[in-house]
Structure 1
Amino acid sequence: MRIAILVEGATEMAFREKLRQFLQSRLEQKMPKLDFKPQHGGIPKEGKLKRIVENLLDNDGYDAVIALTDVYTGKQDFKDANDAQEKMRRWVGKNPNFYPHTALHDFEAWLLPYWTTIKKLAKHNRSAPSGLPETVNHQRPPSYCIREIFSSGTRGKDYNKVIDGVAILKKNDLMIAIQACPELKAFVNRIISLCDEDQIIS
């Protein structure tokens, strides 16, 4: 099984190895080949997305394509996760091997469950944002919350999406974020379901 995953850019690339380790532990011999395809600034829209998906499936030999977009793009492109997924489906058309998914409101929501680690890295004791990680919204998306604690902390360095993203995830159990973030669970379960439905996370 070969799966192409369209991602926005650097932040999701930091997540790649942690995801692979987690999936390998569950899927073992059924582990797919995952190829992250960074789009450098956002998942393409309309006809461009359709062409990319069809090329990956028809010409590059992938069995499935997953598109993973933030709901918060800085441009108010999407109202919510459902709106983002519906638009991507409409742009690509009825393709049974294309699966749209979202990070709500951005990738950093999936880091918020590890606030204790974030505080240690930032060297600041700020309280975690209130509510569930994926309810942090357009007005103050999760990436802003993490950026703020790093800029306020005594570490003396701003938040770096790739370096600090890897550091936050490194020694933590991905299942913690999966159970706290329904959109992350849906994304991980999509990959699992394509390979071994018996291993889907409840």
Structure 2
Amino acid sequence: MKISIIVEGKTEKAFLPYLREYLKVRLTDRMPRLDPFPYDGRIPKGEKLKRVVENLLKGRNASDHVIALTDVYTGSNPPDFQDAGDAKSKMKSWVGTEPRFHPHAAQYDFEAWLLPYWSTIQKLAGHNKTAPAGNPESVNHNNPPAYRLSEIFEIGRCRDSYVKPRDAGRILRDNDLSVAVAQCPELKAMINTILCVCGGVMLP
């Protein structure tokens, strides 16, 4: 089984190694090959996304399934997407009827999935700033999770801003991804897609 994951390049470097480790335990004899298809900027939209998906699903080294993972917060004004549901709906409509394509979205950005590890973030930043209140995926366009991480890093003793390829890995390295999965429905949904197409047991 080969699953291509269309993703922003920095997210690939920061997150996919930990996603693989999480899945290995649950897909011991069915672990797919997760083949990242990274973009340095935001993943494509409209007809371009459709072409990318079609190309990944055909040819000699075709993927069995394609996942597209985007942030809801893209920095555009007005926003490209209102929420994760809107992002998934638009990606699905762009690609059209293709059961092997699975759109997913981090609400509001990938860093929402790091917020459950706030005590680790405090240690790395060298500051005891209080964690954002509420569900990690409820942080909105006005002050998305990545901004929250940048803020605590910049006011902390490290005096350096949050850098995704470096710091996301440091946050996840000594933590259990199950903690974030339990608090972040969009993360769980993406993992359940992989478990489902690989014949694994889906998370409740």
> Is the TM value for this pair above 0.5?
yes
Shift of 1:29: 1.0
The residue type equivalent to 1:74 in the other structure is G
* 1:7 aligned counterpart, secondary structure: strand
Superposition map of 1:23-172 within 5 A: 23-59=23-59, 60-75=61-76, 76-172=79-175
Shift of 1:158: 1.6
Shift of 1:40: 1.4
Report the RMSD for the aligned CA atoms in angstroms: 0.8
Aligned residue pairs total: 201
Quick check: 1:13–1:36 contact (8 Å CA) kept in 2? Answer: no
Shift of 1:9: 2.1
Shift of 1:12: 3.5
Superposition map of 1:6-17 within 5 A: 6-17=6-17
The residue type equivalent to 1:25 in the other structure is V
Q: TM-score with structure 2 length normalisation?
A: 0.97
Q: Structure 2: how far apart are the matches of 1:163 and 1:13?
A: 9
The residue type equivalent to 1:82 in the other structure is G
Q: Structure 2: how far apart are the matches of 1:156 and 1:77?
A: 32
Quick check: 1:12–1:107 contact (8 Å CA) kept in 2? Answer: no
Per-residue CA deviation, residues 139-181 of structure 1 (Å, 9 max, x unaligned), is 0000000000000001122211111000000010000000000
Q: Structure 1: how far apart are the matches of 2:10 and 2:131?
A: 24
Shift of 1:52: 0.4
Structure 2 residue runs without a partner (length 5+): none
Quick check: 1:85–1:102 contact (8 Å CA) kept in 2? Answer: yes
Q: Structure 2: how far apart are the matches of 1:83 and 1:13?
A: 26
Which structure is higher in helix share? 1
Shift of 1:182: 0.2
Quick check: 1:66–1:99 contact (8 Å CA) kept in 2? Answer: yes
Quick check: 1:13–1:38 contact (8 Å CA) kept in 2? Answer: no
Q: TM-score with structure 1 length normalisation?
A: 0.97
Per-residue CA deviation, residues 73-107 of structure 1 (Å, 9 max, x unaligned), is 00110011111111101110101100000000000
Per-residue CA deviation, residues 21-56 of structure 1 (Å, 9 max, x unaligned), is 010011011000001111111110111100000000
Structure 1 residue runs without a partner (length 5+): none
2:203 paired residue number? 201
